[in-house]
Amino acid sequence: MMRAASAAALALILAQPACASDQPPTTDTQHGMVRIVTVAEGLEHPWGMAFLPDGRALVTERPGRLRIVGADGKPGAPLEGVPAVSATGQGGLLDVQLDPDFAKNRFVYLSYAEPREGGNGTAVARGTLTERGLAGVQVIFRQDVTIDGRHHFGSRLVFDRKGRLFVTLGDRNSERARAQTLDSHIGKVVRIERDGKVPADNPFVGRADAKPEIWSYGHRNMQGAALHPVTGELWTNEHGPRGGDELNRTLAGLNYGWPKVTYGVEYSGKTISESPTAPGIEPPVHYWVPSIATSGMLFYTGSQFPKWNGNAFVGGLASQQLSRLEMDGNTVVREEVLLKGVLNQRVRDVEQGPDGYIYLLTDEDNGKLVRLEPAS
């Protein structure tokens, strides 16, 4: 589901790159030259973005700030009402998503590393966007295990076509074995109603040995998620260890293997699994060895890049790239690596603007919001 916005408003507001040079850099692709336009910079480790109906962009910064990138391309002052975050390691303020009925209710959803006694855990909060910030903020979901740690929080937010919210949750690194059990939220995708209640048609509802919020399990650390534009199914990408980043068609009730099977190895080089596949485990649609450090995901459906229609795009952190994946149904038939050696920044999020351009967030101390445009 594309985040709500007016294409005309976005074109007017973000048409002029506030911080770019007179001649933005270009890069060649299999389908022509692409221009890389800097829309905004000066963001501290931005993580997620969502376009508002007036064309402005809501952007999260991992230290705990939610800002609006305005007409001048400059990030506004931090908005009020954002929950306190545990900004340690990979934790902090993470994804942002608008309610499917945002035009009526103005609900904004945030995922973040929540500080707790004895550690932290991934949580989701919802508030009403006002001129000053978020009002009436309520926590609607909490990962049920508190860890004194800095790693593997997840967490992307995606609404399905029924208006239910998917939340991707990491294994917190130290609790990887629990990704294979159904008694916790560790290493899972969960699916909840907009107020946090459990949908009656979730796959494990009614099982005494399972958390009813769980949608799928056996995940390591999913930092990209999107709905397939044709089927409406959830797809996710997740970090492997050393090698074994995955793209998954993430279906109800299925086991995606971690840490029982993986295409990767420990950072020390030690073997994790003798085989990357096993009976009863859903194999990835695509995987990367070596790892590219996947984050952010988009199925392109716009008109600005007609030859890319239906392609999946996955950001790369350590690899500082954008992967374009050509699809034939549910199969990846070709991968093109974009921006490597050109952008030279970690790609954290990938979104399609309502103007049909592709927008990226770069995860750096001086992070940027950039736009990809056809150069012709």
**pLDDT recorded at residue 15:** 46
Q: In what order do the strands lie in the sheet with 358-362?
A: 26-29, 32-43, 367-374, 358-362, 347-352
Q: Helix count (H) and strand count (E) of the chain?
A: 2, 24
Beta strands 222-227 and 234-238 are: antiparallel
Please say whether the beta carbons of 238 and 221 come within 8 A.
Answer: yes
Tens digits of per-residue pLDDT, 36-49?
999 999 999 999 99
Q: Which pairs with CB-CB distance under 8 Å and at least 24 residues apart come from 24-32?
A: 25/342, 26/375, 27/338, 27/339, 27/342, 29/324, 29/336, 29/338, 30/336, 31/305, 31/307, 31/308, 32/307, 32/374, 32/375, 32/376
Nearest to 362 by CA among 42, 100, 31: 42
Residue type present at position 339: L
Q: At 113, phi and psi to the nearest 5?
A: -85, 115
Q: At 306, phi and psi to the nearest 5?
A: -60, -30
Three-state SS letters, 339-350? CCCCCCCCEEEE
**pLDDT recorded at residue 55:** 85
User: Which position among 31, 45, 151, 152 bears the catalytic label?
Assistant: 152
The mean pLDDT of the chain is: 93
Does the model's pTM come out above 0.75? yes
Tens digits of per-residue pLDDT, 176-203?
999 999 999 999 999 999 999 999 999 9
Residue with tokens 């294409």: 7
45 a catalytic residue = no
